[in-house]
Amino acid sequence: MITPAELAGWTLHNDENVLIVDKPGGVVCHPSKAGPWSSLAGAVREQLGLGASHLVFRLDRETSGLTVFAKTPAMARKLQAAAAARQIAKNYIAVMTGELPEPVTVNQPLGPDESGPVAAKSAVRPKGQAAVTHFVPLASGGGFTLARVFTETGRKHQIRAHAQWLGKPLVGDKIYGPDPRLFLEFLDTGWTPGLEEKLLLPRQALHCSEVDMRAAGLGRVFSSPLPADMRAFCAGRGLPVPDGL
């Protein structure tokens, strides 16, 4: 469960229209059946005394970083329209398995992976929805790459699915990593030494590090530093983290 003190500590910005929260990995965004304080959306609603919390865009449970809430229906409509018009730019940092020697753009459509063991999994499909992801290496070595990632579209699991398609899945990704059956094993057993040996990190190494809302009329760029678990992984593999991350 999320505590009021934790939510206050994660809050980067709070005004009459918008709340920006730096979500840790492992925290669910959308409301769950376990009560309001079991999800970020529910905790925000309770903490602020709102009738509803308007999550402008979500992050996967294991992805860390910036999440944006509109505090009024009018602001929610404005930001959702801005997101649809690509006026809100998001910047991610990822640790990828394999060394990426130069920037690469993946322009491959995504849809449900109907042949895999995990129903929630996306995959590159000829008749899928258009999806474009840009991967820019910041440091490579020892079989890994620290990369900055930009998306032009917002498809389900887009970065993770495109990284897998490249043959460079994100470190720690239970669904798009070495074997999607590891996700099913995790659901049965929880995190084990055997899973750690195969996945290296207990969550996918993906962090939403920047949200630029200037084109949406809010006049701000919000940023979040690389979290400790990803920073420690890079240090242990000799991957230098650039200043400012």
> For 66-93, how does the pLDDT look when each residue is reduced to its tens digit (9 = 90+)?
999 998 899 999 999 998 888 999 999 9
173 among known catalytic residues: no
Among the listed residues 231, 237, 224, 219, the one whose alpha carbon sits nearest the alpha carbon of residue 12: 224
Structure tokens at 93: 């940092």
Phi, psi of 216 (to 5 degrees): -85, 0
Which pairing describes strands 18-23 and 64-70: parallel, antiparallel, or unpaired? antiparallel
Measured CA to CA, the distance from residue 199 to residue 173 in angstroms comes to 7
- Which residue, chain included where needed, has tokens 């650039």? 242
What global pTM score does this model have?
0.94
Of 15, 22, 60, 243, the catalytic one is: 60
Query: What domains does the chain contain, in order, with CATH numbers?
Result: 1-85 (3.30.2350.10), 89-239 (3.30.2350.10)
> For 90-123, how does the pLDDT look when each residue is reduced to its tens digit (9 = 90+)?
999 999 999 999 999 999 999 999 888 999 999 9
> For 176-210, how does the pLDDT look when each residue is reduced to its tens digit (9 = 90+)?
999 999 999 999 999 999 999 999 999 999 999 99
